Amino acid sequence: MHCYKGADKEGFIANADFICHLELTEDEVHLFSRICTKIGSLCIKTLSSWSPPNLNQLSTLVRRNSSIRSINIGHGCAMSCKELLPAVSSCSDLRNLDISGFILDSVCMGFIFDIAIHLDTLRIHCLVTFPESLDKWPCFPSMKEVYLDEAIPAQSYLEVIRRCPELRVLRWHIKQDDPCPVSHISSVFKLYCPSVKQLTLEAAHLMDENIAEILNGCHRLVSVHLPGSKFGELAFLSLSRHFTTLRGLNLERCAGLTSTMVQQIMTSCRRLTDLTATTLDAIDILGDTNEEESIRTGTGIRDQSQEWVCVDLDSLGVFICGLEGKPIEWHQKVMQRLAKLTKLTSLSVGPKLYSYSSSTGTRDGLDLRVKTGLDALSSLKRLECLFFDGLWQQMEEQDMRWMIEAWPEFFFLHGRMHSDPRQRWKMNQVLKERNICTSIFDDDFLSEPMDEPERRRG
């Protein structure tokens, strides 16, 4: 497949008949509008306003490539695209349409629904006005993925979903003040699209029982994203029906999600490769404690925990807590458990920025130093990114150097490495030497620390 992305312009123009995938900016449309005839995939991203001739040239390009199967058009300023959509609707082989930044009135949406009859994927990130009725389009028989802009009313979204019996992927952001009855939203899955495999639902006003009904309405889910929802015990029970098929799960900012639930997910979802949750308490990771021994020494851990079965995790994001005031042995045992996730490329063990004050952080969290058990993670040979927001670590240069040597793919670190800005600067220099990217919490990384008198003079 030949692909043009702006380089070697003359060479690609000379071979225009062989170009199958075309990525353009607005200034380049005129170069290709009359010479390319075999494009299968077209992607155009623009930043400024187009005049009508530009849209006309794009229409010409589309019409000359009637066998095109994928169109992705992004625009930086809101404007109508009535001149373009008739050309798009003439592409009988089109299967994927992604359009953003335009104003789509009811006439434009009529064109898009005409096209949608044979689409597999429809993504719209635009200001939209729906036609008064969708009766003209009773079914979108091959539609497998739908994403409509969050500004679209839920009732209109439902009208589209009801027409997609083969829907597999659904991303839906429902505003809290949307007038559509919650009962309509939660019942549509079982009635109209039980074959959904990947569900992303952002709807903070849906209650636990509504989410449970939605999850019950889907036959077998592979990916579930419910960030910021009222996910709770009922939804967890419904989610358990999908444990054997789940590969991706995002329950970030879900106040009703308990540590015990997260631990059960990690010991039940054998196929899970991507997990983002809220908190996972060390006591749930390590098992029950001997209370008398714990009170006396703080070290009495009775390992009754189940083995994690989701050892194929590629990405894990969860605040590992319950470690404040605990002895080093607790941290060591937690990291020994993490060491079993040998396929991890991304690991986040701290709370997200929204859950604590950036100035004070938290005193709870996993102590990431070699002397507290960090070296147990030498098994994570694929690790690329490490995140540890929240707790001010007390790392030293040797800890940084250990990470760099132990993880050959490591390239990004984000966290509060040390409460002392001088120590942070030293470690940042080590990371710079090895081209490790870091996130900066303050200005102390930007220049070498001054002596105290110089600081006062500054």
pLDDT tens digits along 29-56: 666 666 778 889 988 877 665 554 477 8
Q: Is residue 295 located within the same domain as residue 434?
A: yes
- What is the rounded distance in angstroms from the CA atom of residue 336 to the CA atom of residue 186? 42
Q: pLDDT per residue over 306-347, tens digit each?
A: 678 999 999 999 999 999 999 999 999 999 999 999 999 999
DSSP annotation of 125? E
Residue 340: the pLDDT is 95
For 416-430, what is the mean pLDDT?
A: 88
Q: pLDDT per residue over 166-183, tens digit each?
A: 999 999 888 878 778 877
Let me know if residue 250 belongs to a domain.
no
Q: What percent of the chain has pLDDT over 90?
A: 52
How many structural domains compose the chain? 2
Let me know if residue 225 belongs to a domain.
no
CATH label of the domain that carries residue 292: 3.80.10
Residue 455: the pLDDT is 35
Q: Is residue 138 located within the same domain as residue 267?
A: no
Of 93, 114, 143, the domain-final residue: 143
Q: Is residue 432 located within the same domain as residue 308?
A: yes
Residue 31: the pLDDT is 65
Q: Is residue 314 located within the same domain as residue 438?
A: yes
Using DSSP's 3-state secondary structure scheme, residue 139 falls into: coil
Residue 72: the pLDDT is 93
- CA angle, corner 431, sides to 429 and 435, nearest 5? 115
Let me know if residue 112 belongs to a domain.
yes
Q: Is residue 262 located within the same domain as residue 409?
A: yes
Task: State the average pLDDT for the chain.
Answer: 84
Model confidence at 5: pLDDT above 60 = no
Please answer whether residues 103 and 80 qualify as being in contact, where contact means their C-beta atoms are separated by less than 8 angstroms. Answer: yes
Let me know if residue 252 belongs to a domain.
no
Neighbours of 337 (CB within 10 A): 18
Determine the structural domain holding residue 129 and report its residue range: 1-143
CATH label of the domain that carries residue 47: 3.80.10.10
Neighbours of 264 (CB within 10 A): 16
Let me know if residue 451 belongs to a domain.
yes
The DSSP bridge pattern shows strands 346-348 and 169-173 to be unpaired
The DSSP bridge pattern shows strands 96-104 and 315-321 to be unpaired
Of 128, 143, 158, the domain-final residue: 143
Residue 265: the pLDDT is 97
Let me know if residue 150 belongs to a domain.
no
- What is the rounded distance in angstroms from the CA atom of residue 247 to the CA atom of residue 380? 20
Confidence of residue 383 (pLDDT cuts 50, 70, 90): very high
Let me know if residue 130 belongs to a domain.
yes
Six token digits for residue 412: 């990004």
Let me know if residue 240 belongs to a domain.
no
Of 103, 124, 143, the domain-final residue: 143
Q: pLDDT per residue over 87-119, tens digit each?
A: 998 888 999 999 998 889 999 999 999 999 999
- What is the rounded distance in angstroms from the CA atom of residue 254 to the CA atom of residue 193? 25
